[in-house]
Amino acid sequence: MNKIEHIGIAVNDLEKSNGIFASIFGEKQYKIEEVKSEGVKTSFFKVGDNKIELLEATNKDSPIAKFIEKKGEGVHHIAFAVDDILAEVQRMKKEGFIVLNETPKKGADNKLVVFLHPKTTNGVLIELCQDAE
């Protein structure tokens, strides 16, 4: 793993939350994007070398809607940048982690993503990210 790629925060209202985080960081988000396959609309903020992703559900069956219903708004996941996502999936499986999607899927911000089940990562949803080619 190379670095923390971003921290994802689940929010009820993306527009309102963009205003809050723009005030915190002193600048607006650099990108808003919808990932229809995941039922989510996202925005990204740069904070030095790091990024914060805000996630709003676009339908009641999306993972973000279910997360907010269960836990409320807040930190949803921590994403780590990797060079070879397929090799990392195999390494994680060998280490005993439950991989939620062994086949990387298209995520926001031009990434291929895989998630590790929070039951095997001390309750934290871990996302592995590789730049899509």
The 3 state secondary structure assigned to the chain is CCEEEEEEEEECCHHHHHHHHHHHHCCCCCEEEEEHHHCEEEEEEEECCEEEEEEEECCCCCHHHHHHHHHCCEEEEEEEECCCHHHHHHHHHHCCCCECCCCCEEECCCEEEEEECHHHCCCCEEEEEEECC
Q: Read off the pTM.
A: 0.92
pLDDT tens per residue across span 3-47 = 999 999 999 999 999 999 999 999 999 999 999 989 999 999 999
The encoded tokens of residue 95 equal 């280490």
